[in-house]
Amino acid sequence: MSERVIVGISGGVDSAVAALQLAEAGYEVAGLFMKNWDDPEDPGHCSIPHDLAAAEAVCEHLGIRLHRVDFTGRYWQQVFEHFLAEHEAGRTPNPDILCNREIKFRAFLEHARALGADRIATGHYARVAHTDDGPRLLRGRDPGKDQSYFLHAIDGEALTATLFPLGELYKDEVRARARAAGLPNHDRRDSTGICFIGERHFRTFLAAYLPAQPGEIMTTEGAVLGRHQGLMYYTLGQRQGLGIGGDRAHADAPWYVVDKDLANNRLIVGQGHNHPRLLTRRLETEVPSWLVSPPDAPFRCTAQVRYRQTPVACTVTPSPTQLAVRFDEPVRAATPGQSIVLYDAQTCLGGAVIRQLLRDADAEVCPATAAASG
């Protein structure tokens, strides 16, 4: 008797080819369309009806059943409220990581089991190796599409029960398979950005939920250059949307967000892509998530502080409540609220949300902050 697998069908080409791969491999396949967001105040920007229609067309073409489930309430409570709270606190969260942990690999797995599934599957570009010590999450074969960064916080139970049919494929191979199989969405473009924002301007979306608190834009030396619209709209390393070009007192070079003075509601900026305040060698995190047995002593590995960043060698000192990380080389724009993800070669070890950056003694306090508080 073949295993019954329920595939998360989003309407995109990746999940469609994942279902195709499994059906051709002899699994008993069904699909599940998850409705995770509902925006009755702005239905014009909601892609769910189009996504559902594409999912239905794919499943009809493959001759498999498509189940539907509404996770909007759970998504709001477990993902979106956290997203808002983090932005209100001046941090930059990654809702995709939390969505994977709470919705796509927890709520989905629970619902699929209730439908009688043995396993679940998704169209993520990642791999699983089953070892005597349990499952191991591996990078996807395509380095340009590897999504293990976004999966580091799922638990071992979910990893054991999950198949990643695209893990060994490159994106161009997936598109080619979709065309060859005549899938109706073979040329549908990939979705980008945060799912619930869609094509909307980020500030416009966020302003509907959180009140803006404008304040000063200040250089690291304490000079005021202009006004920001609210610290929640900016992230470290950001260049676009600052509105401070053409200042005669400074060289004609791009400005970047290099810090946030939360206590005084000031946005700190500096010139140069690799401004010293954008570079850090040390950071501390929130409580870590592990996909391996939690280490109890300092260890060496590589790490990414954002998706598609080149991995950087580091030393990690773990504890049950945090990670202390020291990089061999400075990393750029490590950002509180984002995640650091740890690797041993191709194996994802786990990761954690960045709590704070630790600077050398001579750069411990931003000059603007010191001047304001002195």
**Using 50, 70 and 90 to split pLDDT, how confident is the model at 199?**
low
**Under 8 Å CB-to-CB from 327, ≥6 apart: which residues?**
280, 281, 282, 303, 312, 313, 314
What's the pLDDT band for 363 if we cut at 50, 70, 90?
very low
Residue 19, pLDDT above cutoff 50: yes
Strands 4-8 vs 119-121: parallel, antiparallel or unpaired = parallel
Residues 269 and 308 in one domain: no
In percent, how much of the chain has pLDDT > 70? 89
In-domain check, residue 373: no
- Residue 216 forms part of a structural domain: yes
Range of lowest pLDDT (76-85, 180-189, 198-207): 198-207
- pLDDT-derived band at 41, boundaries 50, 70, 90: low
Q: How many domains does the chain have?
A: 3
Q: Both 121 and 259 in a single domain? A: no
pLDDT above 60 for 358? yes
Domain presence at residue 374 = no
CA dist., res. 190 & res. 176, Å (int): 15
140 in any annotated domain: yes
Mean pLDDT on 236-250: 79
Cα distance between residue 147 and residue 213, in whole Å: 35
Residue 286 burial class via C-beta count within 10 angstroms: exposed 0-12, middle 13-18, buried 19 and up: middle
Tell me, yes or no, whether 115 lies in a domain: yes
| Conformation bin of residue 298: beta by default, left when phi > 0, alpha when psi is -120 to 50 | beta
- Name 131's bridge partners: 134
Mean pLDDT of 227-247: 88
Mean pLDDT check: name the lowest of 189-198, 205-214, 333-342. Answer: 189-198
Is 149 strand, coil or helix? helix
The answer on pLDDT for 66 being more than 50 is yes
**267 and 284 both lie in a single domain:** no
Same domain, 107 and 248: no
Judge if 166 and 67 occupy the same domain: yes
3-state SS, residue 108: helix
**262 & 284 share domain:** no
Is pLDDT of 47 > 80?
Answer: no
Q: How far apart are CA 370 and CA 227, in angstroms?
A: 19
187 in a structural domain: no
* Number of C-beta neighbours around residue 49 at 10 A: 10
What is the C-alpha radius of gyration for the chain, rounded to an integer number of angstroms? 22
Residue that terminates a domain, selected from 223, 242, 276? 276
Q: Which of 180, 203, 230 is the last residue of a domain?
A: 180
CATH code at position 337: 2.40.30.10
Is 50 exceeded by the pLDDT of residue 364? no
User: Is residue 196 predicted with pLDDT exceeding 80?
Assistant: no
Q: What are phi and psi of 42, to 5 degrees?
A: -145, 65
Residue pointed to by tokens 């629970």: 110
Q: Is 195 a catalytic residue?
A: yes
**Residue 57 domain-assigned (yes or no):** yes
Q: What is the Cα–Cα distance from 123 to 79, expressed in whole angstroms?
A: 21
Place of tokens 């740890």: 342
Q: Is 301 a catalytic residue?
A: no
User: Does some domain include residue 369?
Assistant: no
Farthest-apart Cα atoms in the chain, separation: 75
Can you tell me the mean pLDDT for 139-166? 96
CATH number at residue 100: 3.40.50.620
Q: Are residues 19 and 109 in the same domain?
A: yes
pLDDT band at 37 (very low <50, low <70, confident <90, very high): confident
* pLDDT attached to residue 201: 75
Give the range of the structural domain holding residue 237, as residue numbers without chain letter: 211-276
Can you read off the two tokens belonging to residue 188?
Answer: 């549908």
Spatial distance between the Cα atoms of 310 and 304, rounded to a whole number of angstroms: 7
Residue from 46, 59, 99, 366 carrying the catalytic annotation: 99
Q: What rounded mean pLDDT belongs to the chain?
A: 90
Q: Which two tokens stand for residue 34?
A: 């998850």
Per the DSSP assignment, residues forming a β-bridge with 318 are 323
**Alpha-carbon distance 123 to 175, whole Å?**
13
Q: How confident is the model at residue 2 (pLDDT cuts 50, 70, 90)?
A: confident
Same domain (yes/no): 147, 166: yes
- Single out the residue of 92, 98, 96, 127 nearest to residue 18, CA to CA: 127
Please check the confidence at residue 217 and state whether its pLDDT lies above 50: yes
> Please, which pLDDT band fits residue 367 given cuts at 50, 70 and 90?
very low
Strand duo 312-318 + 299-304: pairing: antiparallel
In this structure, the answer to whether residues 76 and 91 fall within a common structural domain is: yes
User: How far apart, in whole angstroms, are the C-alpha atoms of residue 19 and residue 28?
Assistant: 10
Task: Please indicate, yes or no, whether residues 300 and 330 belong to a single structural domain of this protein.
Answer: yes
The region of weakest confidence among 190-194, 204-208, 369-373 is: 369-373
333 and 358 co-located in one domain:
yes
Find the mean pLDDT for residues 119-132.
Answer: 96
CATH code, domain carrying 242: 2.30.30.280
Query: What's the confidence (pLDDT) of residue 371?
Result: 37
In which element (H, E) is residue 59 found?
helix 48-62
The residues, any chain, with a CB within 8 Å of residue 125's CB and separated by 6 or more, are 14, 140, 141, 142, 145, 146, 147, 164, 166, 167, 169, 171
| Cβ neighbours for 81, distance < 8 A, ≥ 6 positions apart | none
Rounded mean pLDDT, 245-259: 78
Which of 276, 310, 332 is the endpoint of a domain?
276
Kindly name the residue from 46, 59, 195, 314 that is annotated as catalytic.
Answer: 195
Same domain, 33 and 121: yes
**Per the structure block, which two tokens stand in for 162?**
């999950």
What span, in angstroms and rounded, lies between the C-alpha atoms of 91 and 70?
29
